[in-house]
Amino acid sequence: MRGNGSQTMNRTTLFGYWRSSATWRVRIGLHLLGIDFQYAPVHLVKDGGQQRSPTHRLRNPMEQVPVLTWTAQGHKHRLTQSLAILEYLNQHVAGSLLPSDPFPRARARQLAEMVNAGIQPLQNLWLMNTITQSGADGRAIAREAIQRGLAALEAECSLASELPTAAQPGDWLVGNAPSIADICLIPQIYNARRFHVDLAPFPTLRRVDQLAAEHPSFRLAHPDAQPDALPPLA
Amino acid sequence: MRGNGSQTMNRTTLFGYWRSSATWRVRIGLHLLGIDFQYAPVHLVKDGGQQRSPTHRLRNPMEQVPVLTWTAQGHKHRLTQSLAILEYLNQHVAGSLLPSDPFPRARARQLAEMVNAGIQPLQNLWLMNTITQSGADGRAIAREAIQRGLAALEAECSLASELPTAAQPGDWLVGNAPSIADICLIPQIYNARRFHVDLAPFPTLRRVDQLAAEHPSFRLAHPDAQPDALPPLA
């Protein structure tokens, strides 16, 4: 994979888990950008969590997925954190995961961070387990965080009418092309459903979710389409 | 403030709180980039939390700080999420909050996100209060999250010797100039001290913290230097 005058990426490998929403974001980005990659599953539940293994801790001391590795000019490269990975890949192939104008670009980053820093960390596996082991209901708190966060995201879409037109929602959260904002939204909506959050009050978010359900790159990235997907419980 | 061929930013206003670590990050960035701004305090404790007021919810439906507002070409602009704001400002003035080469740039974003998405959300005021109201110790869980997160960040610095030289720590977390990674680190170290996390095992992080303590922009941005700072408890 070569683009934009930068070095060729060889042996691009995504370490992840089918249902990890941060891994899912990177899969969507890779497919949207047309970048070939190997998928290397790290099972977050089996063996007490393979992300805690010494091998994986050398890939990511946070004991999390995703991790992207590749070689370029004989040198090993390794990145964690889904948004850092997506920004790198987008620049590498001169892609369109971010709007080109500065303010709409910032708006897409804002909406992505509302999920990445504002919602998803509060439903993180370690946090939920730790809260529950401490005597409170980690899953209930995660559910409330998702509900509140999506409500704020929908409110942001309403408030956007005050902003310059190019930063407003179009078919997607910012304008008429999928961006990192939508890439973060879709896995979060899936998690909202798993946590039985009522999506009825979020018409903009539901509309984008429907659009993504029909988009080839989003379909290829869906957890159920991954080799490490587990069958639904009977 | 004009730069890089983009529109002038007028009446740039930062809504924030002296001790909010995300506000603090934006203050560091504004000072490093030499951008003039007004500071508008939003008291996170007084009046049940001014971030919950109807006025502030129109600025940020997440009920959080910071929010940056300005006008350009007669149009109101508004951004939330500290990293989205910092990326915008850095591009606006062609600043150096991010390394210029793609991989070191990605590395700086990764380390910033380890704090922004991996640590700080787990010590968020709403989360700690909600956990505590649910019968567990929100502060103890936040403390553990900070300790684990900083340990992972220090481990990432050790692992960097395998990466291309330009992505390795120099004086700062990535190379020899302060970047968004350091901007996120410094407020997190301050919070670690408030939570009585032992910093002895983190020599790289402590070294950067010492360097920042002597840097003019970091000093100007410190909570104690803000107009809304509260005096220490007697």
CATH classification at residue B133: 1.20.1050.10
**Residue B4 confidence (pLDDT) above 50:** no
What integer is the mean pLDDT of A5-20?
A: 89
Which pLDDT score, from 0 to 100, does residue B100 have?
A: 95
Mean pLDDT estimate for chain A: 95
Question: Domain check: are A142 and A119 in the same one?
Answer: yes
DSSP symbol at B19: T
Which pLDDT score, from 0 to 100, does residue A6 have?
A: 57
Question: Domain check: are B107 and B88 in the same one?
Answer: no
Instruction: Specify if A2 maps to a domain.
Output: no
Q: Please tell me which of the candidates A76, A107, A153 has its beta carbon nearest to residue B162.
A: A76
**Residue A4 confidence (pLDDT) above 90:** no
Structural domain harbouring B66: 11-92
**Residue B145 confidence (pLDDT) above 70:** yes
Which residue spans within B90-181 are E strands per DSSP? none
**Residue A86 confidence (pLDDT) above 90:** yes
- Residue of B22 and A45 predicted with greater confidence: B22
pLDDT band with cut points at 50, 70 and 90 for residue B20 = very high
The nearest CA of chain B is from the CA of A10 a distance in Å of 15
**Residue A67 confidence (pLDDT) above 70:** yes
Q: Please tell me which of the candidates A61, A106, A141 has its beta carbon nearest to residue B84.
A: A106
What integer is the mean pLDDT of B84-89?
A: 98
Residue type, A4: N
Question: Most A CBs within 10 Å: which of B65, B83, B150, as the mutation test of the A interface?
Answer: B83
- Residue of A6 and A90 predicted with greater confidence: A90
Q: Which of A92, A118, A136 is the last residue of a domain?
A: A92
For A29-65, write each residue's pLDDT tens digit. 999 999 999 999 999 988 889 999 999 999 999 999 9
Question: Domain check: are A72 and A170 in the same one?
Answer: no
**Residue B102 confidence (pLDDT) above 60:** yes
Instruction: Specify if B191 maps to a domain.
Output: yes
DSSP letters, A156-214, are: HHHHGGGS-GGGSBSSSSSBTS--HHHHHHHHHHHHHHHTT---TT-HHHHHHHHHHHT
Q: In which residue are the tokens 């996120």 written?
A: B184
Strands laid side by side in the A75-80 sheet? A38-41, A10-16, A67-72, A75-80
Question: Domain check: are B79 and B140 in the same one?
Answer: no
Question: Domain check: are B148 and B197 in the same one?
Answer: yes
Which pLDDT score, from 0 to 100, does residue A25 have?
A: 98
For A95-153, write each residue's pLDDT tens digit. 999 999 999 999 999 999 999 999 999 999 999 999 999 999 999 999 999 999 999 99
Instruction: Specify if B231 maps to a domain.
Output: no
Instruction: Specify if A82 maps to a domain.
Output: yes
Instruction: Specify if A234 maps to a domain.
Output: no
Instruction: Specify if B3 maps to a domain.
Output: no
**CB atoms A152 and B63 under 8 Å:** yes
Q: Which of B92, B121, B146 is the last residue of a domain?
A: B92
Q: Show residues of chain A in contact with B134, CB under 8 Å.
A: 131, 136-137, 140-141
Question: Domain check: are A82 and A150 in the same one?
Answer: no
Question: Domain check: are A109 and A214 in the same one?
Answer: yes
The nearest CA of chain B is from the CA of A233 a distance in Å of 30
Which pLDDT score, from 0 to 100, does residue A5 have?
A: 46
* CATH label of the domain that carries residue A56: 3.40.30.10
For B40-85, write each residue's pLDDT tens digit. 999 998 888 999 999 999 999 999 999 999 999 889 999 999 999 9
Which pLDDT score, from 0 to 100, does residue B48 have?
A: 87
The enclosing H or E element of B124 equals none
Which pLDDT score, from 0 to 100, does residue B234 have?
A: 59
Question: Domain check: are B88 and B106 in the same one?
Answer: no
Instruction: Specify if B20 maps to a domain.
Output: yes
Number of domains into which chain B is organized: 2
CA quadruple A121, B112, B86, B65: dihedral positive or negative? positive
Question: Domain check: are A56 and A128 in the same one?
Answer: no
Question: Domain check: are B124 and B196 in the same one?
Answer: yes
Question: Domain check: are B127 and B188 in the same one?
Answer: yes
Instruction: Specify if B232 maps to a domain.
Output: no
Question: Domain check: are A65 and A107 in the same one?
Answer: no
Q: Least CA distance to A66: which residue of chain B? A: B110
Q: Please tell me which of the candidates A121, A131, A159 has its beta carbon nearest to residue B141.
A: A131
**Residue A212 confidence (pLDDT) above 70:** yes
Percent of chain B, pLDDT > 90?
91
Pairing mode, if any, of strands B67-72 and A10-16?
unpaired
Q: Which of B67, B92, B117 is the last residue of a domain?
A: B92
